[in-house]
Structure 1
């Protein structure tokens, strides 16, 4: 009789507590904070906001919790405290997130994937959605010229770890480290500037990555990844670009966004805005823009592969094509760089070392420079530097010295002095110098 009573109590307990909250993870980013609730089963939930003070309340039906709130890592400036409260319904569990400001949460469940089980994701977008400029090394460009901008996208991040190596190392950390190294090298080069799509361990939507590049006026987008397959044998780096099938599918989506095409396509966009929505003319301009971006992507990939072959093993010696969301921009040449196979034990260890990461970053920089020396965009410092036998006029500005000007153009002080017949290193504000092409 006692055994039957115990079994009855157990069945009642299982019926009441059909789910369990196993953990809470918080991922702050420049634009939002993401909260992830790790659940034992598929969550049934409700949520609402309260003011005075600002709070987000999440009710989890038929759920119990084993979460230790003091152990939760929280570096978000938006969330000040996490606690539980008395639920409205018996058997439910109520979570309360105390916030510094009012937000409009986006809440959705995720099914098990990879190393994760059931999850409830809560995105809290910041009220000010304007992305703050990242602290980068901005080198003052000469009058009438601009720097060539390279957007560097560190794959995965935050809730999305990417591939996981045999020793449990995450792709997201390797890609961010290589991206930071590449950005540092680029920002040391006169005429080049780097922009990172993410600067820390947080997730950036795939569509938003190309938007960040576009807003920065990027001439090129490189997305850094580390490959993975079930077989631990494959090794080596590769370079991928958008397949024509994906390009054709994306075209249909872009045609529906007449309003945004002007800002996306620069001068071409201005022409499109004057076509009165003519779909045939619009498609022609978009076709030309995307074809040019894909052709440039292929040409740049060949230069990068040639440089990478000098320092790392290649898995594919020719650029590969794939249907990848991060490469879909019709107006920016875009490449995905697989730095190696994290699924290979030997290469996993290599990808973790500073020296190997630096080799990859240096090869990418050399590939970029190699291509743009031969194909410099008009109006860039790179174009001024490579024009053989030509010179440009530079007006000396306040705070400039010959050494500063020489570094900006990537030539020596003596070359500027000789070209301008200068007997002294002293220059004056307003003085006009002829800068020889390299």
Structure 2
């Protein structure tokens, strides 16, 4: 009895004097450089308990992870980044904590925030280091005559946000960038057209920032490339989406909207990141501009669908509507192309095929090219090359022809010596050039 009591007392004393182990571990550190900022992500086994401060001469960011042990080799993590010299550990306040020092190549504006588990990721602490000169003033300057039509190409997802993941582990973000690069090469070969990439590498850009970049690059049209996914493997085929702020009218559109929200949680912290300005609000135009933008988006989407259905199965044969943030800029006509279902084995095989990717890019380009040849923006090279004659076809009226060539009905009547608005099938009209 006495010996038993001694054993119990000894055990209790041992528990009281045993070292307190860290309650969390750093299991991974990832660095994502992008053109205007660098993201550092710390993967942790539990919700991060942290504090941080900056030091000068030299510039350093110091992060203390309380009750946390580092399990990661930090050597060469920032080898490909120009903003970070080195990531290393230093002496922490106590033995159960970890101090991480990020040595910087200058001063940066920072955003530091935790992210809860989402998708393939667990708890994370995110450090965003923004260039001080990243904010650009948007000036509405006149565009040059005979200019190129600029197409913004947005490769969906990227960096911290992988998008959909196939059964074999292939990320959607990789497929979308491959197709986007193929589309850019085709567009850049076309006289009078030029492509700009919204995302040119494997890094994350928040959906609102994507439209800001498109606006800064003065794009005439924005196309966002994605590969669809669903909770079952049955659905397959491509679809084209345009913005609609009304309630989602199908299960697939609700799925797509929810997936975009989940992507924000994966990569951007959603509302956890406090906005520092209202640049988007300042440039949103009147309802008339919005209506025109939607009209262009719808016509473009229909052209692209007619080309895509020649080379791939279409999940939907009409433009679909969804309230997607990447399409919401009212001054930028846009569409989102779902190139197929990564969750469907047949589509997945096609989407990872260079040959099929090339066909998809060609179809998207051909649809856009046809639209811009019919309705070239004023001042563009294609506008200066548009036809001067038009033969009336069934269903066409004088007002339809005027709208197509962006001239007034009265200008058409003067140029063709017409006394009324009546035209006949087969009649050839002279299209006046308007400077």
Q: Is 2:40 the counterpart of 1:39?
A: no
SS at match of 1:357: helix
Partner of 1:345: 345
1:270-281 → structure 2 map (5 Å cutoff): none
The alpha-carbon deviation at position 130 of structure 1 amounts to: 5.8
Cα 1:211–1:7, aligned 2, differ >3 Å: closer, same or farther? farther
Is the 2:78–2:85 contact (alpha carbons within 8 Å) kept by the matching residues of 1?
A: no
Partner of 1:381: 381
Cα 1:324–1:353, aligned 2, differ >3 Å: closer, same or farther? same
Partner of 2:162: 161
Partner of 2:147: 146
Is the 2:228–2:339 contact (alpha carbons within 8 Å) kept by the matching residues of 1?
A: yes
Partner of 2:199: 198
Structure 1 unaligned runs (5+)?
A: 132-141, 248-256, 266-285, 391-436
Partner of 1:298: 298
Using structure 1 for the length normalisation, give the TM-score. Answer: 0.75
Residues in 2 aligned to 1:343 and 1:3: alpha-carbon distance in whole angstroms: 60
Partner of 1:88: 93
Is the 1:214–1:264 contact (alpha carbons within 8 Å) kept by the matching residues of 2?
A: no
Is the 1:156–1:203 contact (alpha carbons within 8 Å) kept by the matching residues of 2?
A: yes
Moved over 6 A (4+): 257-262
Partner of 2:22: 17
Partner of 1:79: 84
Cα 1:201–1:62, aligned 2, differ >3 Å: closer, same or farther? same
Partner of 1:307: 307
SS at match of 1:128: helix
Partner of 1:372: 372
1:149-298 → structure 2 map (5 Å cutoff): 149-245=150-246, 265=285, 286-298=286-298
Is the 1:246–1:328 contact (alpha carbons within 8 Å) kept by the matching residues of 2?
A: no
Is the 1:149–1:218 contact (alpha carbons within 8 Å) kept by the matching residues of 2?
A: yes
Is the 1:146–1:379 contact (alpha carbons within 8 Å) kept by the matching residues of 2?
A: yes
Cα 1:11–1:214, aligned 2, differ >3 Å: closer, same or farther? farther
Is the 2:78–2:84 contact (alpha carbons within 8 Å) kept by the matching residues of 1?
A: no
Partner of 2:130: 125
Structure 2 unaligned runs (5+)?
A: 1-6, 137-142, 249-276, 391-432
SS at match of 2:304: helix
Is the 1:152–1:179 contact (alpha carbons within 8 Å) kept by the matching residues of 2?
A: yes
Residues in 2 aligned to 1:309 and 1:3: alpha-carbon distance in whole angstroms: 79
Cα 1:93–1:288, aligned 2, differ >3 Å: closer, same or farther? same
| 1:116-146 C-alpha deviation (Å, 9 max, x unpaired) | 0000000011233168xxxxxxxxxx97321
Residues in 2 aligned to 1:165 and 1:189: alpha-carbon distance in whole angstroms: 34
SS at match of 1:244: coil
- Aligned Cα RMSD in Å? 2.7
Residues in 2 aligned to 1:128 and 1:7: alpha-carbon distance in whole angstroms: 59
The alpha-carbon deviation at position 21 of structure 1 amounts to: 0.5
Partner of 1:425: none
Using structure 2 for the length normalisation, give the TM-score. Answer: 0.75
| 1:69-108 C-alpha deviation (Å, 9 max, x unpaired) | 2373641111111111111245221001111112232100
SS at match of 1:200: coil
Q: Is 2:35 the counterpart of 1:30?
A: yes
Is the 2:240–2:336 contact (alpha carbons within 8 Å) kept by the matching residues of 1?
A: yes
SS at match of 2:75: helix
Q: Is 2:364 the counterpart of 1:359?
A: no
Residues in 2 aligned to 1:172 and 1:347: alpha-carbon distance in whole angstroms: 16
Give the number of aligned pairs: 351
Is the 1:166–1:344 contact (alpha carbons within 8 Å) kept by the matching residues of 2?
A: no
Is the 2:225–2:337 contact (alpha carbons within 8 Å) kept by the matching residues of 1?
A: yes
Cα 1:341–1:157, aligned 2, differ >3 Å: closer, same or farther? same
Is the 1:50–1:57 contact (alpha carbons within 8 Å) kept by the matching residues of 2?
A: yes
Q: Is 2:335 the counterpart of 1:335?
A: yes
| 1:138-162 C-alpha deviation (Å, 9 max, x unpaired) | xxxx973211111000000011111
Cα 1:98–1:375, aligned 2, differ >3 Å: closer, same or farther? same
